[in-house]
Amino acid sequence: MPEASNGNALLSVQNLQTWFEMRRWGFIRVGFVQAVDGVSFELKHGEAIAVVGESGCGKTTLARTILGLYPPTSGRITFEGREVKGSALRQYRANVGYVQQDPYGALPPFLPVQRILEEPLIIQGVRDPAERNHRVRKALEAVKMTPVDNFLSKFPHMLSGGQQQRVVLARAKILEPKLIVADEPVSMLDASVRVEILELLRELQRKSNLGVIYITHDLSTVRFFTERIMVMYGGKVVEEAPVKELLANPLHPYTRALLAAIPDPDPHNAEVQKEVPPGEPPSLLNPPPGCRFHPRCASLIAGRCDAKEPPIAEPAAPGHRTACWLYADGDA
């Protein structure tokens, strides 16, 4: 939601829209699924940002659009001052790593680890096999898969879930990117391995000054390593703030609901009913007018929330922005 991109930003996303066309019988346009609708943010070098939201809120689509897997319907993605488009895409891809949710699915099951890690190098034109081998070893060491020789010839199905995810991390890292997009990197792992992987990601980020976009639905892991957090709902960003600030002082009603939904380990609260917003996430094919959360919102202001999109406000602290009519001064 920052207004203008400054020169030293690593990645700048401006008013990004990713819409999918829906057709009936192959040619009659029914409408668009507005999976990502007007997202803007900026990421500095070495900064980690978390994108949270429930399933279907568009966070994975956002990640894929940023990775260049989906063409944006409109808006701009700028990487180190250059717009990511056409011929710039190839170079951009060498600078962006991707960590997926399902570690087993993310690795081609018919290739050994060595080859899996070599693939990006081959594609990006590293011709010398000795150099490739060297870099593969370095990457495996960086993700603490040692001794490296034990793993080089293994196939993905011979590795544990945690090891698989390390290989995925090593692959994301092997081209020495400046940005890593991690789409729920630990949600399919055992709790015991999660911390390990997150610590590893954190370490890699600090060491190589990586920018990280960390996508998750699990707020408890966010605190672990990101500085900033973006909350998405219905394809839009509803709140953006530094992590501590957001957890301490959530502004948007949706953020509050989300925080309230975090499982509480206190046994006294086991029987306490939590307040959960009624209804379901909106259909992105036919989003509600105005604020997309308004049909479920407890603090609905009739005639406003359901009519016009809320403006962005920064009412509490600098850098803590939200899009909600509750904080709008005047009727912007």
Partner 1 sequence: MRALLARAQELRRYPSAILGLAMICTLVILAVYAMATMPYREAVRLWQGGEGVWDENPRLAKPSWFNAFRKVKLPPTIVVDSAGRPETKQRIEFEEEGEADVLITLAFDYQYDVFPKELAVYLTANFEKVAPFASFIWRTPDGREFPMTSTSVRTRDSYRISQDRKLQAELGGRQPEIGLLAADPWAETPVPLKGRHELIVDGIVFEPGSDLDARLVVYGQVHGIAGTDHLRRDITVALLWGTPIALCFGLLAAVGSMSTTMVLAATGSWYGRWVDGLLQRLNELVMILPMLPILVMVGTLYSRSIWLMLGLIILLSIFGGALRIYRAMFLQTREAPYIEAARAYGAGNLRIIFLYLIPRIIPVLVPQFVSLIPTFVFLEATLSLLGLGDPTIPTWGKVLNDASQNGALFMGHYYWVLAPSLLLIFTGLGFAMLGFALDRVFNPRLREQ
Give the integer Cα–Cα distance in Å for 191 and 107: 21
Give the integer Cα–Cα distance in Å for 10 and 290: 32
Nearest CB to partner 1, comparing residues 68 and 211: 68
Nearest CB to partner 1, comparing residues 164 and 322: 164
Q: Which of 90, 134, 223, 274 binds partner 1 (CB under 8 A)?
A: 90
Number of shown-chain residues binding partner 1 (CB under 8 A): 29
Based on the shown chain and the rule CB under 8 A, indicate whether residue 132 belongs to the binding site for partner 1: no
Q: Of the ranges 65-73, 130-138, 280-288, 313-321, which one interacts with partner 1 (CB under 8 A)?
A: 65-73
Give the integer Cα–Cα distance in Å for 13 and 308: 23
Instruction: Characterise 58 by phi-psi region: left (phi > 0), alpha (psi -120 to 50), beta (else).
Output: left
- 290-304 core/surface letters (b: 16 or more CB in 10 A; e: else): bbbbbbbbeebbeeb
Binding mask 108-127 for partner 1 (x = CB under 8 A): xxxxx------xx--xx---
Nearest CB to partner 1, comparing residues 108 and 129: 108
Residue 231 beta carbon to partner 1: minimum distance, rounded to whole angstroms: 25
- 3-20 core/surface letters (b: 16 or more CB in 10 A; e: else): eebeeebbbbbbebbbbe
Q: Which of 98, 151, 224, 233 binds partner 1 (CB under 8 A)?
A: 98
Q: Of the ranges 31-39, 107-115, 219-227, 256-264, which one interacts with partner 1 (CB under 8 A)?
A: 107-115
Based on the shown chain and the rule CB under 8 A, indicate whether residue 106 belongs to the binding site for partner 1: yes
Q: Which of 34, 61, 65, 101 binds partner 1 (CB under 8 A)?
A: 101
Residue 179 beta carbon to partner 1: minimum distance, rounded to whole angstroms: 11
Q: Which of 155, 187, 227, 304 binds partner 1 (CB under 8 A)?
A: 155
Q: Which two tokens stand for residue 297?
A: 């919102």
Q: Which two tokens stand for residue 49?
A: 């940002």
CA distances from 225 to 89, 148, 214, 254 (A): 29, 27, 9, 22
Residue 164 beta carbon to partner 1: minimum distance, rounded to whole angstroms: 11
Cβ atoms of 210 and 11 closer than 8 Å:
no
Site of tokens 């990640």? 63
Residue 189 beta carbon to partner 1: minimum distance, rounded to whole angstroms: 15
Residue 197 beta carbon to partner 1: minimum distance, rounded to whole angstroms: 16
The burial of 59, by beta-carbon neighbours within 10 Å (0-12 exposed, 13-18 middle, 19 or more buried), is given as buried
Based on the shown chain and the rule CB under 8 A, indicate whether residue 93 belongs to the binding site for partner 1: yes
Torsion angle (degrees, nearest 10) of CA 262, 317, 291, 49: -60
DSSP element (H, E) containing 20: strand 9-24
DSSP element (H, E) containing 199: helix 191-208
Q: Which of 32, 54, 94, 309 binds partner 1 (CB under 8 A)?
A: 94
Nearest CB to partner 1, comparing residues 21 and 280: 21
Query: Where in 166-205 is the site for partner 1 (CB under 8 A)?
Result: 168, 171, 175
Give the integer Cα–Cα distance in Å for 132 and 135: 5
Cβ atoms of 8 and 174 closer than 8 Å:
no
Based on the shown chain and the rule CB under 8 A, indicate whether residue 72 belongs to the binding site for partner 1: no
Nearest CB to partner 1, comparing residues 107 and 297: 107
Based on the shown chain and the rule CB under 8 A, indicate whether residue 96 belongs to the binding site for partner 1: yes
Based on the shown chain and the rule CB under 8 A, indicate whether residue 262 belongs to the binding site for partner 1: no
Under the rule (CB under 8 A), what is the footprint of partner 1?
64, 67-69, 90, 93-94, 96-98, 100-102, 105-112, 119-120, 123-124, 155, 168, 171, 175
